Structure 1
Amino acid sequence: MFQAIRTRPGLVLKSLALVLAALPLSPLQADQQAEPAAEQAQAGTLGKMSDRSRLDAMRIVAGGQVYDLGVELFVGMPDCCADAFGDPKYQLFLTHSPSRSGDSELVSHTSEAIFMSSHAGTHLDALPHFGLHGKIWNGADAKDALGVRGWSSSGAENYPPIIARGTLIDVAGAKGLERLPPSYVITVNDLKAALARQGSQIRAGDVVLIRTGQMTSWPDATGRSLFIEPGIGLEAAKWLAEETGAIMLGSDNFGLESFPSANPENFAPIHTYLLAERGMPFMESVWLEDLAREGVHEFLFVASPLKLKGASGAPVRPIAIPIAPQE
């Protein structure tokens, strides 16, 4: 189900990237080195992408192999927010279906209604998801920016399609573990050691994905709980956000950070730091097993969150395409 997809369309993508790379940027494109200021304010660090950065990422594609980084959504799937916070579990209902009587129908059709949390499965945490001292990103607060249908500031509809260079940091693999132990706090040294072992380097504009090994048992979530998940600590989050030039993070665990929190006054300090203070969205429950197994640590990353107006999260189906080695 999660095997890497090898398709001819990938070859088309590579060819297109090579053609685009050979074309000069128009004056308009050359001036458009980043999204307009207003869009940057709403999209946070994702607003740092530009026509130039997207083209630079596409021109180093090395082949047509595509890795699917999203998990299936299905009734009964593991869902940390449902278990931890009482959010609705994923449900799919048939609203129209063909007759089951055995009668031959000239025309039949099927439709469904889907009911789910915006934080189920592989998803992006949008900037309004967590606030600090009553404020979300951009200093917006619930009094002025939250209505019954969601946020008017920084909601999931504001994020552009993400096309960027990506780096996988396989922390579990670097330690020779199938998965990190419960509540393990990933440090800056852990990240640097894994990068050195892989021979990888984070570059400005990267999407950085961190593997804890929590997906090795998917979809069996026996024994898993958000509140005992391994993940990055605050110092590691600050290093990634402030010193590497990364524009977005992601992980294969339920909540990116390690739980329980070391801060008795803030149960999710990495969430509040990245979302409310740094304006950096991130992804959770990302499927990284294929990349890790095949040693693909640097790639073209492509994803497009659903444009859910006012939402604090959005389902996403990311893909990774290997790139040529860089000096």
Structure 2
Amino acid sequence: MSAHATKTLLAAALLAAAAWSHAQPPVVGTSPWGPDDEIGRLNLMTAESRAAVLARVDGGTVYDLSVDLFIGMPSWQAAGDPHYRMWMTHTPHGTAIDDPLGLGAAMNEHVSYTGAAFSMYTHTGTHIDTLAHFGLDGRIWNGFSAAEHLGDRGWKVGGAEKLPTIVARGVMIDLPAYLGVDMLPDGHRISRAELRGALERQKVSLREGDVVLIRTGRMRVYEDAAAYMRNPPGLGMDAARFLVESSGAMVVGADNLSFEAFPSEVENNYVPVHTYLLAEQGTPILELVYLEGLSEARVYEFAFIGGGLRLRGADAAPMRPIALPLVPPGASDEP
């Protein structure tokens, strides 16, 4: 397809998206799991689905999908959110001088004492967005209103403590490998066609209840916060609809910090992918997921296991998920 034809198709798609959003203003979704539901599509996880994926774990390599937290790391301080900070509260030398526990010089010289504290925004490092993170017209998923359910100590509904530990089939979609690049270029908007093409290349199909993780390659510059945060690639609206409505994803995520591409392709909404997933569809989002190890090993299907910190009333929670490769269907340990 020529560059002109591609640009023409893209322009038509953008116009269609704008017309659709104007004709049908989005509203928060009503949960099919009842009026008290606070976890959305995580209800797709069942005892049977957990047992099925765990039964296929091959017991070999464990892939850590989390990133390091360090001073100077990528974060949302440009939006007014705090940097990650860690400081020492006790050091061996300081304890010997201050004697905070009244133990005396001899004991403090003999037993060294180190302690630290840290502070950070809830959307720092590898984390999961709860359904309270973004809403529409004062309401979040399932119609809960901020006026009624958001206090000075956080959300009374939909907080991070409500999210269950996730045990599900995971699928990694490696877009740089499919497109033949090290990482997607700045501002690249991921399309439905690219997701489908990468899945076909990997010979993997999506199923209802999957945790779908998209590799953009952005982790290659994670140590350089300015480069990592500069106009990152992300998901487009049609790609988001493909993952949820066409493929049945339970949770979606990526290795970038914004998940979606900017600027918005939808009129009157600066974060249409977030509001579509969280507020309209009840689909939690994972961000800053480390996928380089899976990519290097060409592991595209795995058991995903991860639980966020139980931060009561919070709109997100830090997470340290892992991936356990699966034995191919039909494979047997029998010689």
TM-score by length of 2: 0.82
Q: In the alignment, what sits opposite 2:151?
A: 147
Over 3 Å counting, the alpha-carbon distance change for 1:259 and 1:147 in structure 2 is same
Q: In the alignment, what sits opposite 2:218?
A: 214
Q: CA deviation at 1:255?
A: 1.2
- Provide the alpha-carbon RMSD of the alignment: 1.9
1:169 to 164, 169, 173: 173
Amino acid aligned to 1:326: P
Q: Distance in 2 between matches of 1:215 and 1:40?
A: 38
In the comparison of the two structures, how many residue pairs are matched? 289
Over 3 Å counting, the alpha-carbon distance change for 1:40 and 1:175 in structure 2 is farther
Looking at CA atoms only, which structure, 1 or 2, has the larger radius of gyration?
2
Q: Which runs of 5+ in 1 are unaligned?
A: 1-36
**1:165 touches 1:207 (CA, 8 Å); kept in 2?**
yes
1:63 to 34, 55, 59: 59
1:114 to 118, 126, 129: 118
2:118 alignment partner, SS class = strand
Q: Distance in 2 between matches of 1:47 and 1:94?
A: 41
Q: CA deviation at 1:63?
A: 2.8
1:82 and 2:82 are equivalent in the alignment: no
Q: Which runs of 5+ in 2 are unaligned?
A: 1-32, 98-105, 331-335
40-49 vs 261-270, which moves further:
40-49
TM-score by length of 1: 0.84
Over 3 Å counting, the alpha-carbon distance change for 1:40 and 1:215 in structure 2 is farther
Q: CA deviation at 1:196?
A: 0.6
Question: Over residues 301-327 of structure 1, what are the superposed CA-to-partner deviations in whole Å (9 max), with x where a residue is unaligned?
Answer: 010010100000100011101101237
1:252 and 2:246 are equivalent in the alignment: no
Question: Over residues 140-197 of structure 1, what are the superposed CA-to-partner deviations in whole Å (9 max), with x where a residue is unaligned?
Answer: 1211011011111111110111111100001111000111111111111100000011
Amino acid aligned to 1:97: T
Q: Distance in 2 between matches of 1:303 and 1:116?
A: 20
2:253 alignment partner, SS class = strand
**1:40 touches 1:46 (CA, 8 Å); kept in 2?**
no
Question: Over residues 244-296 of structure 1, what are the superposed CA-to-partner deviations in whole Å (9 max), with x where a residue is unaligned?
Answer: 12110010111111111112411110000001111110111111011011100
Aligned ranges for residues 197-212 of structure 1 at < 5 Å? 197-212=201-216
2:93 to 70, 91, 99: 99
Identity of aligned residues (%): 46
**2:219 touches 2:228 (CA, 8 Å); kept in 1?**
no
Q: Distance in 2 between matches of 1:131 and 1:319?
A: 29
Q: In the alignment, what sits opposite 2:196?
A: 192
**1:40 touches 1:48 (CA, 8 Å); kept in 2?**
no
Q: Distance in 1 between matches of 2:170 and 2:220?
A: 21
Q: Distance in 2 between matches of 1:298 and 1:279?
A: 23
Q: CA deviation at 1:39?
A: 10
